[in-house]
Amino acid sequence: MSIPIVPESALATMTVHLDAIIDNYQTLKSKSSTADCAAVVKANAYGLGMTDIAPALYHDGGCEVFFVANLREAVNLRTALPKVTIYVFNGTTEDQVETILEHNIRPVLNDLNQIDIWRGQPAPCAIHFDTGINRLGLSEDEAELFLNDRPDLNVSLVMSHFIQSEIAGHPSNEMQLDRFIRYRYQLPDAKASLCNSGGIYLGEDYHFDLLRPGIMLYGGNPGLPKRPDGLKHVFELYGKILQIRHLRPGMAVGYNSLWTAAEEARIALVNVGYADGTFKTSDKCAKVFVGGHVANVIGKVSMDMIAIDITDDKFSHITVKDDVELLGANITLEMAAEVSTLGQYELLTGIGQRYNKKYIRGA
C-alpha cells in the first residue's frame, strides 16, 4: 500500500545527515590502530532510522558488523543488508533458533541456558561474559562452568559491557578489563569486543578486535567530560509555527495555566508536543532556536504542540513561515539534556515517529 503524500508544511521535520554519521564512524574507528569498528543500530538506530543509516554505514563507511537488541530488529536489518554480520544482543530462546538461522543472524549467548539451546550449531555465535554490570552475560560461576565444559560451539566473538566507561578514572574500568582479559585468553580463536562509545576513549588497552559504538555515531556524548574533537552533530528536528498570538498581561497559556504573561506578550504555537518525544511537561526552561535566537518553551507541553515566548524585540521579524529548531546544531543534545530530566540517550531514542524524515548525503 502506498502512503498518500501530504504537503511538507503539515509536518515537523527530522533531517539526518548520513555523511556526518559516516564521519563519526571514521573518527571512532581511527581511535584504534588494532580494532575494527562495528555499529550499534538497536532501537531503530537510536531513533534516527536503522534501515537508512545502516546501509549508508555499510556502502559508504565500510562497516560490516552490526549489533541490534532483538530479533525483530535483526531481521529488519537483514532485509536491508543481505551480506553483513548481524549480532543480536538478547541472544536466543528455543523458538527463535529457526528464524535466527534462516536469516543468518548471530546470537549473543548470555547464560548457560542460551548456550544449551545453541550447543552443537555449526553457525557462529558470540559469548557474553558479565564482568561486573550484572545485567546480561555469563556470571563468574557460569563462566567457570562454561570454560570447563567447553560445549561444542562455533564462537566468533567474545564480548563484555562496561558499567561506566565514560568516567575514565573509575576503578571499575580496569577491574572489568582484567576480568575480560582472563576470559578472552581462554577463547583465543574468537575475536574480542569490549568497547562501547565511552570505552573507545579509555585507550588502546581496551580496544581488542572490535569496537561497538552506538551513541557517538549519532553525535551524542555518552558523558565524557568534554565533547570529543571531530564528533559531528548528525540531525536536526524542526517544528512548524501553527499560529502566533498576542497576550495581554495576566493571560495564561495552556493546560492548567502554568505560565502567565506578566506584560504584553507574543507567543508562537509550534506543531510538536510530548507525543513527538523531545519535550516533557516536567522539564523546566526547555529551549528552541528560531529566527537566529534561542527562545523559551512556556507553559505545559501538550500532546501535539508547545508554546514559545517570542515577545522580545529580537523576535519581531518572526512569522508563521519560520521553522523552529527543536534539536540540532543550535539546540544540541547536550543543551537539551541540561534542562531536561532525560539524558542524551533517552532524548535520542525518544524522538517520536511523527516527523517527516529526510536523509541527506553530501554537505
Ligand X SMILES: *Cc1c(COP(=O)(O)O)cnc(C)c1O
Residues with catalytic roles: 42, 255
Residue type, 265: A
Distance (Å, whole) CA 295 – CA 252: 18
CB 83 within 8 A of CB 55: no
Sign of CA dihedral 330, 214, 339, 229: negative
Which residues in the 41-80 window bind ligand X by CB under 6 A? 42
Angle at the Cα of 169 from the Cα atoms of 67 and 129, rounded to 5 degrees: 35
The minimum distance between CB 192 and ligand X, in angstroms, equals 13
**Which of the stretches 142-150, 206-214, 242-250, 266-274 binds ligand X when contact is defined by CB under 6 A?**
206-214
Rounded-to-integer distance, Cα 1 and Cα 308, Å: 38
Q: Which is nearer to ligand X, 172 or 330 (CB)?
A: 172
Span 135-164, contacts to ligand X by CB under 6 A: 161
Least spacing, CB of residue 126 vs ligand X, in Å:
10
The DSSP secondary-structure symbol of 138 reads B
CB of 33 to ligand X, least distance (A): 20
At 113, which amino acid appears?
N
In angstroms, rounded to a whole number, what is the distance separating the alpha carbons of residues 147 and 253?
64
219 lies in the site for ligand X, by CB under 6 A: no
Rounded least distance, CB 344 to ligand X, Å? 10
Binders of ligand X: how many residues, by CB under 6 A?
A: 12
196 part of the interface to ligand X, by CB under 6 A: yes
- Using rule CB under 6 A, residue 254 touches ligand X: no
Which is it for strands 85-88 and 306-309: parallel, antiparallel or unpaired?
A: unpaired
| Residues 6+ positions from 120 with CB-CB distance below 8 Å | 152, 153
Query: Is there binding between residue 32 and ligand X (CB under 6 A)?
Result: no
Q: Figure out which of the listed residues 47, 49, 61, 213 binds ligand X, where binding follows CB under 6 A.
A: 213
Query: Closest CB to ligand X among 213 and 254?
Result: 213
Q: Under the rule (CB under 6 A), what is the footprint of ligand X?
A: 40, 42, 89, 161, 196-198, 212-215, 222
